Amino acid sequence: MTGQTQSGSSEEAAEKLAAGSHARRRKAASTLNSSEAAIPWDRVRREALRRFHVEALRPGQREVLEAVFAGKDVLALMPTGSGKSLCYQLPAVFLPKLVVVVSPLIALMQDQEQKAEAAALAVARLDSTLTAAETAEAERALGAGETRLLYLTPERLENADMLALLKRVGVSLLAIDEAHCISQWGHDFRPAYLGLGYAREQMGNPPVALFTATASEECIADILEQIKANKPVMINTGIERENLHFSVHQTVNQEAKQQRLLNLIEQAQGTGIVYSASVKTAVSLCEWLIEAGVAVGRYHGKMPTREREAVQDRFMAGEYKVLVATKAFGMGIDKPDIRFVCHYEFPDSVESYYQEAGRAGRDGKPAEAVLLYQLEDRRIQRFFLLGRYPRPDELSKVLGVLSKPGTTEQVAERVEMSRKRTQGILYILKDAGLVRRSGAGYRLAKDVVSNEKLEEVLAEFERCGQEDRKRLDAMMHFAETTECRKQYLRGYFDEPKGERCGTCDNCANPEMENVREVPRSARKDVAEVVTLDSSGEAIVTTAPETLPDRTESPFQPGVAVRHVRFGDGKVVAMDGENLVVRFIADSGSAMKRIRPTYLKLR
């Protein structure tokens, strides 16, 4: 569905204008009103050029604007750097009431606020960094109707007074950036985003515009359900980033991985981001790069807010060549000259990987997306997945304290859990109908908790865990495949695979042609033995009678080998007396642990 717009009546609706008018006129442009028969594109283009220096709309921007001006709900899948912010900043010039933008990061809101101010928009921001006086002034201007564009974190919309103020002021558009955070299937799931459907209702159900760079079909369905979208226009400009060169490098140990990373940094002409899966790795890798003489900073979620902001400012100013970071960094970062993004450890999904890789090359010039891959890396993500969903005892604890109403903070204190985890549990229990939310906070929906409902919630957690493992398996397949990397990504995101890109590592350096399994009838003069593959499944294979001395083994990592049943492969690592070999067949690639006596050099 690349470049397509889908809606039951979107073509007709795009010719109509959002209902309503506004008595007050502004200097820059009059608001759109229901008396106009069509969108005044000449005025829209004039304001886009005058305020944002945009000479021509990019693919997808016009379609989003049509839906917004027509008062339609819209979900737009637009890659990083495709100009999503214009799709809600420009409507703030024309729409009769306030445009509210929900953003996950304060740093991103600060950056966009500055750009909106430069475009002469009456903009405000409400977040935890403001002083009491600054907050009071922002709320006063908002209440007086002086603000056209408001940036908020999702947490701010948990405040009942804020929701009441927004309803009184009136909202023409609720724009939600990084909308995949709404979904439990999303790669950056954030509990506070689950409350946006309720917040939208409290504002009076204004039209909603949802933006994300990557989302699976299941994630999209969940987003639309959570936000209660009404016949949304679906816009997909495609995931393609022609300037990104994808490559995967398998390494046998940490020393080899570090050296590969250092080579990448030394060869890169500009700055880069190195992603790690854990804070521990981010800290140790940063220290190692400092010792290697690299101008490097580190960024992770456990750092104090001011320290994170200072590191980000230095990176944006070009003081660091490299930033080592966890996934806490990068969402919405607008630094056009990032020449490479390297994943030092395995990401948890293809969605996460592509979202983070897309932060390279936003200026349209060639950039590298590199994955450094060890078999052991997968264990890190499996460890994180184990703790992602609440345990039965955690649910029971929360339910046990809700006979008395409480805010998220009060409940967290009662059960001695983090606010974030408590918040996620409360939203899940609310969706299941086990608790309800009111002005006083959360409380039990009924005096007696339904065990059947509770079992349904636990079953849903199990299903979520299975889907997480599937996404991790898909990421593993991306790392191991010999298929064109971009073809694999297009297929994963439900787009036509199209032609090979010709630029990824698999296109530039094809390792081997696909082979078919050798039929047993073709095997002659060899002994048949039964072994176990990595999953424990019994397989029939063949082997010579003697084992070579491992110390003199020619089967070093990277060596091309052949197996009589599995065909051609490549040694990935040495594991005791066994070799880990990646075999390629028509059905895809597979890792096998095999004795070297079963193999021949190619």
Indicate whether 101 and 11 sit together in one domain: yes
Indicate whether 365 and 310 sit together in one domain: yes
- Whole-number percent of the chain with pLDDT over 70: 82
Indicate whether 533 and 493 sit together in one domain: no
Total count of domains within the chain: 4
Residue 383 to residue 376: CA distance in whole angstroms: 12
Q: Which of these three, 236, 269, 285, is where a domain ends?
A: 236
Indicate whether 48 and 98 sit together in one domain: yes
Q: Please compute the mean of the pLDDT values over residues 50-60 and round it to a whole number.
A: 90
CB 541 within 8 A of CB 519: no
Indicate whether 338 and 434 sit together in one domain: no
Sheet holding 208-212, edge to edge: 4-6, 233-236, 74-77, 208-212, 171-176, 98-102, 149-152, 123-126
According to the model, what pLDDT value does residue 189 have?
Answer: 63
Structural domain contains residue 460: no
Structural domain contains residue 463: no
Structural domain contains residue 462: no
| Contacts with 482 (C-beta within 8 Å, 6 or more apart), sequence order | 506, 510, 511, 512, 514, 584, 589
Indicate whether 248 and 280 sit together in one domain: yes
Structural domain contains residue 217: yes
Structural domain contains residue 515: no
Confidence check: pLDDT of 328 > 60 = yes
Residue 208 to residue 199: CA distance in whole angstroms: 12
Structure tokens at 43: 């005025």
Q: How many CA atoms lie within 13 A of 318 on its CB side?
A: 5
Domain range for 503 is 244-383+468-508
According to the model, what pLDDT value does residue 180 have?
Answer: 87
Q: pLDDT tens digits, residue range 353-412? A: 998 998 999 888 999 999 998 877 667 666 666 667 788 888 889 998 998 889 999 999
According to the model, what pLDDT value does residue 575 have?
Answer: 61
Q: What angle do CA 159, 163, 169 make, to 5 degrees?
A: 145
Question: Rounded to two decimals, what is the model's pTM?
Answer: 0.67
According to the model, what pLDDT value does residue 283 have?
Answer: 95
Q: Which amino acid is at 80?
A: T
Q: Please compute the mean of the pLDDT values over residues 331-351 and round it to a whole number.
A: 87
Q: Which of these three, 476, 508, 540, is where a domain ends?
A: 508
Indicate whether 580 and 442 sit together in one domain: no
Indicate whether 374 and 402 sit together in one domain: no
Lowest mean pLDDT among 261-275, 286-300, 457-471: 457-471
Lowest mean pLDDT among 52-66, 395-409, 556-570: 556-570
Look at strands 233-236 and 74-77 and give their pairing.
Answer: parallel
Q: pLDDT tens digits, residue range 504-559? A: 999 987 643 332 233 333 333 333 333 333 333 333 333 333 333 434 467 777 78
CB 479 within 8 A of CB 371: yes
Structural domain contains residue 126: yes
Confidence of residue 576 (pLDDT cuts 50, 70, 90): low
The CATH number of residue 552's host domain is 2.30.30
Residue 179 to residue 187: CA distance in whole angstroms: 11
Q: What is the DSSP string of 506-521?
A: HHHS-----BPPPPGG
Confidence check: pLDDT of 296 > 90 = yes
Looking up tokens 């003199």 gives 552
The CATH number of residue 369's host domain is 3.40.50.300
Residue 458 to residue 125: CA distance in whole angstroms: 38
H helix runs in 119-238, sequence order = 132-143, 160-169, 196-203, 217-227
Residue 507 to residue 526: CA distance in whole angstroms: 37
The residue among 329, 333, 340, 334 whose CA lies nearest residue 307 is: 329
Structure tokens at 537: 């499944």
Q: State the CB neighbour count (10 A cutoff) for residue 204.
A: 12
Looking up tokens 């400012």 gives 313
Residue 25 to residue 471: CA distance in whole angstroms: 51
Residues in the chain: 602
CB 338 within 8 A of CB 356: no
Q: Please compute the mean of the pLDDT values over residues 447-453 and round it to a whole number.
A: 77
Q: pLDDT tens digits, residue range 126-178? A: 988 888 999 999 999 999 999 999 999 998 998 889 999 999 999 999 999 98
* Phi, psi torsion values for 346, nearest 5 degrees: -65, 125
Q: What angle do CA 391, 395, 397 make, to 5 degrees?
A: 115
Q: Which of these three, 190, 218, 236, is where a domain ends?
A: 236
| Contacts with 126 (C-beta within 8 Å, 6 or more apart), sequence order | 135, 138, 139, 150, 151, 152, 156, 162
Confidence check: pLDDT of 315 > 50 = yes
Lowest mean pLDDT among 68-77, 198-207, 223-232, 554-563: 554-563
Confidence check: pLDDT of 326 > 80 = yes
Indicate whether 325 and 425 sit together in one domain: no
The crossing angle, in degrees rounded to 10, of helices 419-431 and 392-400 is: 80
Indicate whether 134 and 80 sit together in one domain: yes
Indicate whether 109 and 186 sit together in one domain: yes
Judging by beta carbons within 10 Å of its beta carbon (0-12, 13-18, 19+), is residue 465 exposed, middle or buried?
middle
| Contacts with 228 (C-beta within 8 Å, 6 or more apart), sequence order | 197, 200, 201, 205
Confidence check: pLDDT of 581 > 90 = no
Residue 167 Cα distances to 31, 98, 141, 147, 576, angstroms: 20, 10, 15, 14, 66
Lowest mean pLDDT among 183-192, 220-229, 336-345: 183-192
According to the model, what pLDDT value does residue 16 have?
Answer: 31
Residue scoring higher pLDDT (452 or 366): 366
The residue among 292, 298, 291, 327 whose CA lies nearest residue 312 is: 298
The CATH number of residue 441's host domain is 1.10.10.10
Indicate whether 94 and 221 sit together in one domain: yes
* Phi, psi torsion values for 442, nearest 5 degrees: -105, 150
Residue scoring higher pLDDT (572 or 295): 295
Q: How many CA atoms lie within 13 A of 242 on its CB side?
A: 2
According to the model, what pLDDT value does residue 383 have?
Answer: 65
**Per-residue burial over 506-515, b = 16 or more CB atoms within 10 Å of its CB, e = otherwise:** bbeeeeeeeb
CA torsion through residues 341, 342, 343, 349, sign: positive
Structural domain contains residue 456: no
The residue among 154, 370, 341, 145 whose CA lies nearest residue 246 is: 370
According to the model, what pLDDT value does residue 381 have?
Answer: 67
| Contacts with 387 (C-beta within 8 Å, 6 or more apart), sequence order | none
Mean pLDDT computed over every residue of the chain: 80
Structural domain contains residue 454: no
Q: pLDDT tens digits, residue range 94-117? A: 999 999 999 988 878 888 898 999
Lowest mean pLDDT among 143-147, 245-249, 579-583: 579-583
